Structure 1
Amino acid sequence: MTSARHARSRLIVTVDALRLALAESSDLLGFTLGGTIDEETAAAAEADGVPRKFLDFCRVLNGVGCGPSVQLFSLWEAEEHQFYCEPVVDSPLPLSPEKLYCVGMIQEAPVYLDRAGGDVLGALEEGPDWPDAERFDQLAPSVEAFFLERLVDPAEYQRLALIDDELVEYDDWLKLLRRAGLSG
C-alpha cells in the first residue's frame, strides 16, 4: 500500500505542478489538462462498470491531451470510446468489454486498462492498424504509472508522440513539462 500511496502523492504533486505552469502560460493550449471528478460522479460511474483504477486517476486528473496524437481520456470521453473494446473480425487481439476498458489513444491506437490486473495495454507500434497486431504490449502497471513514466517523461512522450528532434521546441506538452520543472 505504501507504494500505491507514494504513486498517488507523486501524481498529485505532478498534476499540481502542471496546472500551475499551465495557469502561468497563456501561450499554451488551455485544453491540455482536464479537471477532476467528484466522489458522487465516481460512485455512479463505478456502479455503471467503470473500473475503479481509472476513476482513481480521474479523481486527480480527468483527462489529458498531451498533443494531437497522445491523449488519456476524461471519464466522459472514455465512455464514448468503449466500442474499441469490442472484438474486431479477423483480429488476433483478445478484445472484450468485460476484460478491457479504453482509457486513451496514441497515434490512432487505443490504450486500454486491463480490468483484472490494472495494467495499461496497447498495440501502439501498429498505429491505425492496431487490430492487426499479434498481441498487446504492457505499457505500464497502472494508469498513474503510464502518465508519470510515459507521458511526463519528455523522452518517452517524444517517442510516443513521434516528435522528431527538429519539432521538440514547438510541442506545447514538452513546453509545459519544462515550465513545470518536469523535464529532467
Structure 2
Amino acid sequence: MNFDRLSAAVELVRRCLPVREEWVIQNRVGAGLPVANAGDSCPDGFVRAARIVDGGNFGVVTVFALGAVGDFQFYADQVEGSPVRLGREEWFCCGLINDEPFFIKKADGSVWMFPDVGVEWWMSPEFHQSTDSLTSFLSEFVFGPRYREITPLGEGDQWLQLLNEAGLA
C-alpha cells in the first residue's frame, strides 16, 4: 500500500515541481532506479525506496542516493559521550533532517530520528522510531502531511508549499 502511495505522490510532485522556478532550484527528486541491487551493503527497505526515488533534496530532508549512501555511514558510528548507542551493525544512515541524521534499524527496517531538542544530534537523549519503514517515512514525512512536523520554517518552507500545491500536505 505505502509503495503505491509513495509512487503516486512522487509522480505528482515531479509534475508540480516546474510550477515555480525556486522549487526546481532548491529541491531535487531523484529518478527511481529500474532495478536496484546493492548486495548486502544496504537494507532491503532502502533499496526498495530507491526504486521509486533514488535520493534527493526535499526541503529540510536529504535522502542519500544508493550510489553514495555508503559514504555517509560514519553517522552510524558510536560517538563517545553520546547517550544514544549507535553502531553500523545495527543502524544504517539513510539521510539528514535539518542536518541531523536519520536511520534505518537493520533488525526490522523501522526508521528512527533525533527530534529537535536544542542540542547537537549526537548529544541528544531523544531518539525515537518515526515509522515502520523507509517507504512509510517518505510517504508521511517527505511526500505527505507530516513534513510540517520536521520543518522549522513553517509555511515559508518551499517544499511545504510544493506539497500544498500538489495536495499532499
TM-score with structure 2 setting the length: 0.88
1:162 counterpart = 2:152:
yes
Q: Distance in 1 between matches of 2:72 and 2:116?
A: 20
Q: Is the 8 A contact 1:106 1:124 kept in 2?
A: no
- Aligned twin of 2:69: 78
Per the alignment, in what secondary structure is the counterpart of residue 179 of structure 1? helix
Among 25, 28, 33, the alignment partner of 1:32 is: 28
Among 33, 39, 46, the alignment partner of 1:46 is: 39
- Aligned twin of 1:179: 165
Residues 50 and 127 of structure 1, relative CA distance in 2, 3 Å threshold? farther
Per the alignment, in what secondary structure is the counterpart of residue 109 of structure 2? coil
Larger CA deviation: 174-183 vs 24-33: 24-33
Gapped regions of structure 2 (runs ≥ 5): none
Q: Number of aligned residue pairs: give it.
A: 168
Deviation at 1:23? 4.0
- Aligned twin of 2:93: 102
Matches within 5 A, 1:126-141: 126=117, 129-141=120-132
Amino acid at match of 2:33: I
Residues 138 and 127 of structure 1, relative CA distance in 2, 3 Å threshold? farther
Q: Is the 8 A contact 1:36 1:59 kept in 2?
A: yes
Q: Is the 8 A contact 1:85 1:101 kept in 2?
A: yes
Residues 28 and 107 of structure 1, relative CA distance in 2, 3 Å threshold? closer
- Aligned twin of 1:149: 140
Amino acid at match of 1:162: P
TM-score with structure 1 setting the length: 0.81
Q: Distance in 2 between matches of 1:140 and 1:127?
A: 23
1:88 counterpart = 2:88:
no
Q: Is the 8 A contact 2:117 2:124 kept in 1?
A: yes
Higher relative contact order (CA 8 A, sep 6+): 2
Deviation at 1:126? 3.9
1:13 counterpart = 2:8:
yes
Amino acid at match of 1:46: G
Larger helix share, 1 or 2: 1
Q: Distance in 2 between matches of 1:135 and 1:117?
A: 20
Question: Percent of aligned positions with the same letter in both sequences?
Answer: 29
Gapped regions of structure 1 (runs ≥ 5): 1-5
Matches within 5 A, 1:49-64: 49-64=41-56
Q: Distance in 2 between matches of 1:106 and 1:126?
A: 13
